[in-house]
Amino acid sequence: MNKAGYKKLLNLDNHKCFGCSPVNPSGLQMEFYSKGDSLFSWVIVPDHMCGWHNVVHGGIISTILDEIMGRSSIYLLKKFVMTKSITVDFIKPIFVGKELKAEGKAIEIKSDREAEIGGFLYNEEEELCAKATGQFALFTPDALRKMGLRIWGRATRLRIWGRATLTV
């Protein structure tokens, strides 16, 4: 797909996330792009991730939507996030080996600690095939430290995809 007008975002390679790590050979290796108030990713689901008869497994579709919504939360809201819940609607079959476009956008900022994010998955014909709504818990770096969680292994100043600088 033509990505003109989209800004490619930094993706760290020091983790093994199934959805976005560029170094996880078994994962989706999603890359992210911004445009306006949305985040995007184009992904081709490999054959070994099918459910039935070349249809992408529902768990993989859910993973793509969760990943785009999570990244959208981080990038657009400038907070670290954890998924609280997601609801997925499967609208049309999605087939392996075809390029898909995922889009994520903020729907509602409920408080400084929670947001509702939308995720949308389109086929090559730009038809909406699946959509999701996610509730995300929002965290500052201090809140993560208080919970004993570490971000990418060490304390550092982290520029989140060219948009916000957080000290973790």
For residues 28 and 36, what is the distance between their CA atoms, to the nearest angstrom? Answer: 24
Contact 47, 97 (CB under 8 A): yes
Give the DSSP per-residue string, 18-60: TTT-TT-TTS-----EEETTEEEEEEE--GGGBSSTTBBPHHH
- Identify whether 149 is part of a domain: no
In a domain, 157, yes or no: no
pTM of the model as a whole = 0.83
Look at the alpha carbons of 145, 151, 157, 162 in this order and tell me if their dihedral is positive or negative.
Answer: negative
Number of domains into which the chain is organized: 1
Residue 11 lies in a domain: yes
CA angle 19, 41, 130 (to 5 degrees): 85
Domain-embedded: residue 71: yes
Range of the domain at 73: 7-140
The CATH number of residue 41's host domain is: 3.10.129.10
* 119-166 per-position pLDDT tens digit: 999 999 999 999 999 999 998 777 777 877 665 544 434 444 444 444
Residue 46 maps to a domain? yes
Q: Is residue 35 part of a domain?
A: yes
40, part of any domain: yes
Model confidence over 41-91: pLDDT tens digits?
999 998 888 888 899 999 999 999 999 999 998 888 888 889 999 999 999
Q: Does some domain include residue 114?
A: yes
Residues of the chain with pLDDT > 90, as a percent, come to 52
Q: pLDDT tens-digit profile of 25-49?
A: 887 778 899 999 999 999 999 888 8
Residue 105 and residue 70: Cα distance in Å, rounded?
10
37-47 exposure pattern, b = at least 16 Cβ within 10 A, e = fewer: ebbbbbbebee
